[in-house]
Amino acid sequence: MGEHISFEQFINVFKILSKSTDDYLFILDLIEDHYNITDRAAEIFLFDTSDFYNASNIIKNCVYPSDRDMFNKNLELIKNGMITKHDLEYRWLNKNNHPIWISSRGQIIFNDNGKAKYLVGRISELGRKNKIDNITGLYREVRLRQDILNMDRQFSGNGFLLLIGIDNFKDINERYNREIGNETLNGLAKCIIKVTKGKARIYRMSGDEIMIFCKNLSFINDNPAAAMYTEIKAMVDEHIGERYYKLFYTISGGFVYFTEDETIDLNFIEKAEFALRLAKLNGKNMCICYDENEYNEYVYKLEIQEALRKSVENNFEGFTLYYQPIVNMKKACIYGAEALLRWKSKEFGMISPKVFIPLLEESGLIIPVGRWIIEEAMCKCMEWQKKCPYFRVNINISFVQIKKSNVISDIDLFIEKYGIKSDNILFEITESGELDSGCTTQNILESFHSRSLNLAIDDFGTGYSNLRYIKEMMFNLIKIDKAFIKGIKKSHYDYVVVKQFTELAHSLNLMVCYEGVETEEDFKCVKELKPDYIQGFYFSKPVPAKEFEEKYLGKEKIF
C-alpha cells in the first residue's frame, strides 16, 4: 500500500512531522538507491546533503568503520526481502569524525511484485557514550537493561538469561597481572561467541561476568541454558588445552528462564546473579538454576539483617539476655548461668539465635552487639556476686569479635567498671575452623590466659574437634555438644565417645560440662559419666534475668 505513496510525498509528510520530533526521519528507495533524511542530520553527520543517490555507498562512508560489516549485512537482508523490520544500533561519524551511537528503526515497504521498495523510518541519537566494552568487544550492562526494557514482550517467546563468571578471577589478576586477566576474559568471550553462534546477545557485566540473553525459543525442553553452559565449559577447556595449560581456570554459571506467561523484567538480571552466587558458594565450576524459594529466603535474611542494624542503631532495642542455670554436679547446686542473647524484632517478632547470630556475624554487627552483651552480662554478674559470691556468668564470644575487634580491651574496661573478679566470669568460644588460622587468635587467647580469665570450648564435637585446640588454646572447660548427649541413650558410639572424652579431659585437669540434658532419663544416664557440670532443659530453659534471680540464684541443693 505504501508503495503507492511516492518518495516526494513521504518527504512532504516528514517535513511536517520533523517539527515535532528530535528524531531524524528518513526514506531509502532500495531500487533507485535514493536517500532522504531530515536536513538537520546533514548538518551533524558526514553527509554533504540531505538528499542523495548512490545511497548505499554514501551512507556506508558515514558508518563507523568497525560497524560497517553489520550495516552492510542488514542492508543486504532488507534488499533481499529477508526481513520486514529494520532495528539496528550502531555508530555514525559526525563532521569531526567522532562516532555517535544511533538507533535506527524502520519498516520495509514492498512493491506489487513483492520486491522491497522503500525503507522508511527514524533515527534517534543515543549519544557518544561507548556502549561497547573495550576488552571483550561485547555490549555493556547498560545495553542489556535497555534491551530488556525495549523488548517486544508480545513476541519475545521463551528464553533465558545465563550469567557466566570466571572462578577466582581475582587470583588470576593478582598472580599474573591485569593484562593476563583481560586476555582471559577476552578468551572466554570468544568461546561464548563461538558457542552461541549469533543465536543470543552477549554482554560484559561488571568484573569477570558475561551475560547471555537468549530469546525467541519456541519451547524450553532439556534445559537449554544448562546445555549451553556445558558447551561453553567444553570450549573453554579446549581453549586452555590449545594454549598448553598456560593458564588454567574454571567457570561457573547461573541462569533463569522466562516464558511467554512470565515476561522478563530487570529483576531477572538480579535473579541470574543470585544463581551464579549460589554456584560459587556451592564450590564453583558448576551451573545453577535460579530458585524462587532460595531467593526469597535470601531476601528474608537481608531484611532481617536490616532490622538487626536498625535495632543496633536504636540503642540495642529488642535485644535482651536470658540466663540458663549451670549445675555443679559435685555440690548439686547451681553454680552459675550462661547468658544467651534473645532478639525480638518489631517487624519479625521473636527470631531464633541460630538464625540471627550468624547474620550478626556476617554483617559485623556482632562487634557492637557483642560489646553490649559483655557489658550487660557483667553488670548482672556484679549484682549477683553480691548475693552469691561464687556465682559465675558464662558469656559467649564469637570468632568475629576475636578476629576483628579488640575484645580484650572491652573486657578489661568492663571488668574494671563493674569490679568483677575474674573467677566470676567465663568466656565460651565455639570451636570453629575460622579460629584455626593465624597467630592473632593465639595471641588473644594468651591474653585471656594471662589475665586469668576462664575459657571454655563450646559445642565440642560439632566442628573440627581438634585436640590441638585443647593443648594450645589453654581452655579450662569443655562443653560437649548436645548432639552427643542426645544420642547417648541409643548410640553406643556416642556413649563411649562422651565417656572416654570425659576421662581424657579429667586426666588433663580440664573440666567438662554436658549441654542439652533434657529429661530425667538423660540426667540419670549422664550422671554416671561424672561430668563436672550439666546444663539443660531438665533443670531449666534459659529465662529472663528477673525470673532467674527469683527461681535459681543462690538456691542450694537442686537434686
State the Cα–Cα distance between residues 169 and 250, nearest whole angstrom.
Answer: 9
Here's the x/- map for ligand C2E, 413-432, by CB under 6 A: it reads as: ---------------x-x--
Q: Contact with Mg ion (CB under 5 A): which of 361, 428, 431, 494?
A: 428
If the CB atoms of residues 251 and 453 are measured against Mg ion, the closer one turns out to be: 453
Q: C-alpha cell of 327? A: 549445675
If the CB atoms of residues 308 and 480 are measured against Mg ion, the closer one turns out to be: 480
State the Cα–Cα distance between residues 395 and 428, nearest whole angstrom.
Answer: 6
Here's the x/- map for ligand C2E, 506-535, by CB under 6 A: it reads as: ---------xxxx----------------x
If the CB atoms of residues 287 and 534 are measured against ligand C2E, the closer one turns out to be: 534
CB of 528 to Mg ion, least distance (A): 22
Burial of 34 (0-12, 13-18, 19+ CB in 10 A): middle
Could you give the count of Cα atoms lying within 13 Å of 527 in the half-sphere of its Cβ?
A: 14
Could you give the count of Cα atoms lying within 13 Å of 36 in the half-sphere of its Cβ?
A: 16
If the CB atoms of residues 339 and 426 are measured against ligand C2E, the closer one turns out to be: 339
165 contact, one of Mg ion, ligand C2E, none, CB 5-8 Å limit per kind = none
**Treating both helix axes as pointing N-terminal to C-terminal, what angle do 267-281 and 292-313 enclose, rounded to 10 degrees?**
90
Q: Contact with ligand C2E (CB under 6 A): which of 161, 240, 357, 545?
A: 357
If the CB atoms of residues 311 and 430 are measured against ligand C2E, the closer one turns out to be: 430
**How do beta strands 116-127 and 99-110 pair?**
antiparallel
251 makes contact with ligand C2E (CB under 6 A): no
Side chain identity, residue 551 = K
Q: Name residues contacting Mg ion, limited to 258-317 (CB under 5 A).
A: none
State the Cα–Cα distance between residues 123 and 110, nearest whole angstrom.
Answer: 21
325 makes contact with ligand C2E (CB under 6 A): no
Q: Name residues contacting Mg ion, limited to 311-370 (CB under 5 A).
A: none
Of the candidate spans 80-88, 211-219, 276-284, 348-356, the one that interacts with ligand C2E by CB under 6 A turns out to be 348-356
Give me the residue label for grid cell 597481572: 177
Q: Name residues contacting ligand C2E, limited to 360-399 (CB under 6 A).
A: 373, 396-398
Q: C-alpha cell of 111? A: 512493491
254 makes contact with ligand C2E (CB under 6 A): no
Q: How far is CA 388 from the centre of its chain?
A: 49
Q: Which residues, 6 or more positions from 96, have their beta carbon under 8 angstroms from its beta carbon?
A: none
Here's the x/- map for ligand C2E, 118-147, by CB under 6 A: it reads as: ------------------------------
Q: Contact with Mg ion (CB under 5 A): which of 136, 396, 424, 535?
A: 396
- Integer angstrom CA distances of residue 528 from 149, 361, 470: 71, 38, 24
Q: Which residues, 6 or more positions from 528, have their beta carbon under 8 angstroms from its beta carbon?
A: none
Q: Name residues contacting ligand C2E, limited to 227-246 (CB under 6 A).
A: none
Number of residues that bind ligand C2E (CB under 6 A): 25
340 contact, one of Mg ion, ligand C2E, none, CB 5-8 Å limit per kind = ligand C2E
Helix (H/G/I), strand (E/B), else coil: 429:
strand
Nearest 5°: the CA angle 474, 478, 481 is: 145
Interface residues with ligand C2E (CB under 6 A)? 324, 339-341, 352-354, 357, 373, 396-398, 428, 430, 458-459, 482, 515-518, 535-537, 542
